[in-house]
């Protein structure tokens, strides 16, 4: 046998090697490794929700034996293993740029992490951002670990009833098919009046360790086991106890693991109690309260993610004090001291606010877009007693997306052929430039057609599955197999169905929309997907309304809404849609990272001037909807007037600019004006609006200054 041809393997050799490859979640952003598990059993791959270990556990022995002797498969396995080894052993950007920063280590605390659809531990953008943050930290080599909770139910699975209302389902996760590693660490965490036993699991995310805390243990009381039952479940008191576990538990877990982070990043206020646990430890070491607080502030970074009031958790002071229990005793604090420290105003009944607690214990804070930074400074100006918002010490780091997670593998060969070398360099901002040797337009247009057709097929299959489960007639199911048009201009709207995001805005004038979608020779179609919080009745009503609109004769086959919005559905929509709609009520969209993903595939944004889009829009790479003015405190009548004005602006830009440009073709059948916009979108957005750039900005503007500041303070005896 040629030395270049792999020798056949026994099952005892093949299975452990595949399991090892599945253990490191680098496969979630490495297509070659992922494809090995697809090839094991494509049907099982789909049925398992794209879970490598579930496929490996379920594939037949006969299939494994066949692949154990398949030289092509074994060569692909060897290549994937070699690539992972090279990745883990390579010198990283951080080592080249900051290798002299001895002792530097960041810990990133967050309540949710979206790493892959097979592990539903996320509710929306916060989790997606957190997962992408870890992946970019890994690619860049930033010394970072993370802590969260391991949820038995995750968020929830969404099903639509025949009338479009939402059925909320909480299936148990099959942790046996997840690449969880038991660290062997268990510790006790006081939550309320009881000591809760906690087990620590680990996930390998490239070079980054993510530790997940689990209280679903037999020795715990039922209410303590429920602490890690689900994400954002239960009454506010349950969520409070969960946040005690996340914050104080993270500090205790890292201590038990022997990790000694020098920078603490609180991603949202959910983990703010970590600062109090750290404060108690410094007090026990003999530091005075102000001295200890300053040490905590020097080493803590806080990111706030929402200008929506309801997004900032608030708890009655007595309830918060009871949940913290022994921690307050260690601090020497009572209910009144806690309230005074973490309330927004001096009003006697003011609750403890998690965002305020985080801001008061973090020396560096930021919003997640330039506009959101401005809004946050105005929002919290009173807390700092500042004369103007400009004096408030809250900056911004605009969010991004992890390119390799969200870019379809079909795009890489195109970029290799038409872009200058270095477009995929693992640096914060790589150079994206056209080679200029050949016209990339025809190939990009053909790719768009391929991705759009794939999306249509995917959507039809999903719609048929929904209809069959709902008991729809054969006639209706037959119609769904013909829904949508692979050649039509395709608009996408997929995100969390919070009411401020205004998912149904485009239906403000149904007759005008119907005329737009069905104009002769210029068909347009819209795909929706999204979840509301299980207790958000208004958000669920938005989904129901769209579901019912999609069944009206004038919209049937041109408007669809897909259930169970997850990362897989997100990838299909952001890669397949021509135009990404974003219609929030400004300025409530803090960032809105979903719109950063279509440009990876030549997609175009059509958005209100909110979140990241004012920074990304250059007049040629998409469209801005309406007036960028903002009136956040509108009454009901004012909000209705704003909605009407924004809907009018949306119709106008679609009718006068978007649709005509898409269907304006040259003698070769190519929409040259549209292609120019696609290329501009591709060149201007992905290199800047990535988590590589974002993590680089956190490193230079927040992490390293925090590390150096805390080190200087320690050297001075502080």
Does position 2 have pLDDT exceeding 60, yes or no? Answer: no
Q: In which band, very low, low, confident or very high, does the pLDDT at 535 lie, cut at 50, 70 and 90?
A: confident
Q: b vs e for 355-368, b when ≥16 Cβ sit within 10 Å of the residue's Cβ? A: bbbbbbbbbbbbbb
Nearest to 77 by CA among 61, 88, 89, 64: 64
Q: Are 70 and 108 in contact (CB under 8 A)?
A: no
Average confidence (pLDDT) over 55-76: 97
Q: In which band, very low, low, confident or very high, does the pLDDT at 712 lie, cut at 50, 70 and 90?
A: low
Percent over 70 (pLDDT), the chain:
98
Write down the pLDDT at residue 715: 47
The residues, ordered by sequence, that sit 6+ positions from 356 with a Cβ below 8 Å of its Cβ are 342, 343, 344, 383
Average confidence (pLDDT) over 165-189: 96
Q: Are 488 and 612 in contact (CB under 8 A)?
A: no
Contacts 24+ apart (CB under 8 A), 630-637: 630/586, 630/587, 632/307, 632/585, 632/586, 632/587, 632/588
Write down the pLDDT at residue 311: 87
Of 181-190, 351-360, 468-477, 541-550, where does mean pLDDT reach its minimum? 468-477
Write down the pLDDT at residue 716: 43
Write down the pLDDT at residue 627: 77
The CA distance from 314 to 311, in Å, is 9
> Which two tokens mark 439?
């016209």
Q: Are 148 and 110 in contact (CB under 8 A)?
A: yes
The residues, ordered by sequence, that sit 6+ positions from 114 with a Cβ below 8 Å of its Cβ are 121, 122, 127, 128, 130, 131, 132, 567
Q: Which residue reads 């120019």 in tokens? A: 676
Q: In which band, very low, low, confident or very high, does the pLDDT at 67 lie, cut at 50, 70 and 90?
A: very high
Three-state SS for 353-422 is EHHHHHHHHCCEEEECCHHHHHHHHHHCHHHHCCCCHHHCCEEECCCCECHHHHCCCCHHHHHHHHECCC
Write down the pLDDT at residue 631: 67
Does position 31 have pLDDT exceeding 60, yes or no? Answer: yes
Does position 173 have pLDDT exceeding 70, yes or no? Answer: yes
Write down the pLDDT at residue 422: 93
Average confidence (pLDDT) over 383-409: 97
Domains of the chain by start residue, with CATH? 11-89 (no CATH), 102-399+696-715 (3.40.50.2000), 485-689 (3.40.50.2000)
Average confidence (pLDDT) over 539-552: 95
Give the CA distances from residue 418 to residues 85, 445, 541, in Å, rounded to whole numbers and listed in that order: 29, 14, 45
φ, ψ at 339 (rounded to 5°): -65, -45
Write down the pLDDT at residue 175: 97
Q: What are the residues facing 227 on neighbouring strands?
A: none
Average confidence (pLDDT) over 334-361: 95
Pairing of strands 106-109, 263-267: parallel
Average confidence (pLDDT) over 344-365: 95
User: Tens digit of pLDDT for each residue in 584-639?
Assistant: 999 999 999 999 999 999 999 999 999 999 999 999 999 999 878 766 667 888 88
Write down the pLDDT at residue 713: 56
Write down the pLDDT at residue 717: 43
Does position 193 have pLDDT exceeding 90, yes or no? Answer: no
User: Tens digit of pLDDT for each residue in 87-134?
Assistant: 999 999 999 999 999 999 999 999 999 999 999 999 989 999 999 999
Q: In which band, very low, low, confident or very high, does the pLDDT at 302 lie, cut at 50, 70 and 90?
A: very high
| Per-chain mean pLDDT for the chain | 95
Write down the pLDDT at residue 636: 82
Higher per-residue pLDDT: 198 or 628: 198
Does position 361 have pLDDT exceeding 90, yes or no? Answer: yes
The residues, ordered by sequence, that sit 6+ positions from 92 with a Cβ below 8 Å of its Cβ are 139, 140, 141, 207, 426
């Amino acid at each position: 046998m040629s030395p270049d041809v792999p020798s056949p393997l026994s099952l005892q050799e093949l299975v452990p090697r595949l399991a090892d490859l599945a253990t490191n979640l680098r496969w979630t952003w490495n297509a070659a490794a992922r494809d090995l598990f697809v090839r094991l059993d494509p049907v099982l791959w789909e049925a398992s929700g794209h879970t490598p270990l579930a496929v490996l556990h379920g594939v037949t022995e006969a299939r494994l034996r066949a692949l154990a002797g398949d030289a092509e498969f074994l060569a692909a396995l060897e290549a994937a293993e070699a690539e992972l080894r090279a990745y883990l052993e390579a010198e990283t950007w951080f080592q080249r740029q900051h290798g002299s920063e001895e002792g530097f280590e960041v810990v990133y605390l967050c309540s949710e992490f979206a790493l892959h659809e097979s592990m539903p531990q996320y509710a929306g953008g916060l989790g997606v951002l957190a997962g992408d943050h870890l992946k970019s930290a890994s690619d860049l080599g930033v010394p970072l670990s993370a802590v969260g909770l391991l949820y038995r139910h995750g968020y929830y699975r969404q099903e639509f009833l025949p009338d479009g209302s939402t059925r909320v389902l909480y299936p148990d996760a099959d942790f046996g098919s997840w690449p969880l590693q038991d660290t062997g660490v268990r510790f006790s965490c006081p939550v309320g009046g009881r000591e809760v036993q906690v087990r620590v699991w680990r996930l390998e995310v490239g070079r980054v360790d993510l530790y997940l805390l689990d209280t679903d243990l037999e020795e715990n009381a039922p209410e303590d086991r429920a602490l890690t039952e689900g994400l954002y479940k239960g009454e506010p008191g349950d969520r409070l106890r969960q946040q005690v576990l996340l914050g104080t538990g993270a500090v205790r877990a890292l201590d038990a693991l022997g990790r000694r982070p020098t920078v603490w990043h609180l991603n949202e206020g959910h983990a703010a109690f970590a600062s109090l646990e750290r404060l108690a430890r410094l007090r026990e070491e003999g530091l005075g309260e102000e001295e200890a607080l300053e040490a905590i502030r020097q080493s803590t970074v806080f990111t706030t993610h929402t200008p929506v009031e309801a997004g900032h958790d608030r708890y009655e002071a007595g309830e918060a004090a009871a949940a913290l229990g022994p921690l307050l005793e260690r601090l020497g604090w009572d209910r009144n001291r806690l309230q005074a420290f973490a309330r927004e105003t001096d009003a006697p009944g003011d609750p403890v606010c998690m965002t305020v607690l985080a801001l008061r214990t973090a020396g560096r804070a930021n919003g997640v877009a330039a506009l959101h930074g401005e809004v946050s400074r105005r929002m919290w100006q009173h807390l700092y007693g500042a004369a103007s918002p400009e004096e408030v010490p809250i900056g911004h780091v605009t969010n991004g997306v992890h390119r390799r997670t969200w870019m379809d593998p079909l795009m890489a060969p195109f970029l290799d052929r038409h872009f200058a070398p270095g477009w995929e360099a693992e640096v914060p901002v790589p150079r994206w430039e056209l080679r200029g040797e050949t016209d990339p337009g025809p190939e990009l247009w053909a790719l768009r057609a391929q991705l759009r057709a794939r999306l249509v097929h995917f959507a039809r299959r999903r719609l048929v599955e929904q209809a069959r489960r709902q008991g729809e007639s054969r006639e209706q199911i037959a119609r769904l197999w013909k829904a949508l048009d692979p050649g039509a201009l395709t608009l996408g709207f997929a995100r969390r169905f919070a009411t401020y995001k205004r998912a149904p805005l485009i239906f403000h004038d149904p007759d005008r929309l119907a005329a737009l979608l069905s104009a002769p020779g210029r068909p347009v179609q819209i795909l929706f997907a999204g979840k509301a919080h299980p207790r958000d009745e208004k958000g669920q009503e938005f989904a129901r309304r769209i579901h019912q609109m999609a069944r009206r004769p004038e919209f049937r086959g041109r408007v669809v809404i897909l259930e169970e919005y997850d990362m897989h559905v997100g990838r299909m929509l952001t890669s397949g849609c021509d135009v990404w709609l974003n219609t929030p009520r400004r300025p409530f969209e803090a960032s809105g990272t979903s719109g950063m993903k279509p440009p990876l595939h030549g997609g175009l944004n059509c958005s209100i001037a909110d979140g990241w889009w004012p920074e990304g829009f250059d007049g040629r790479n998409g469209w801005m909807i309406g007036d960028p003015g903002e009136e956040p405190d509108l009454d009901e009548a004012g909000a209705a007037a704003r909605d009407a004005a924004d809907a009018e602006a949306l119709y106008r830009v679609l009718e006068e600019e978007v649709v005509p440009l898409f269907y304006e073709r040259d003698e070769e059948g190519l929409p040259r004006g549209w292609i120019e916009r696609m290329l501009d979108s591709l060149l201007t957005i992905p290199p800047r609006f990535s988590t590589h750039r974002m993590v680089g900005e956190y490193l230079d503007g927040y992490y390293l200054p925090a590390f150096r500041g805390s080190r200087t303070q320690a050297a001075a005896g502080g």
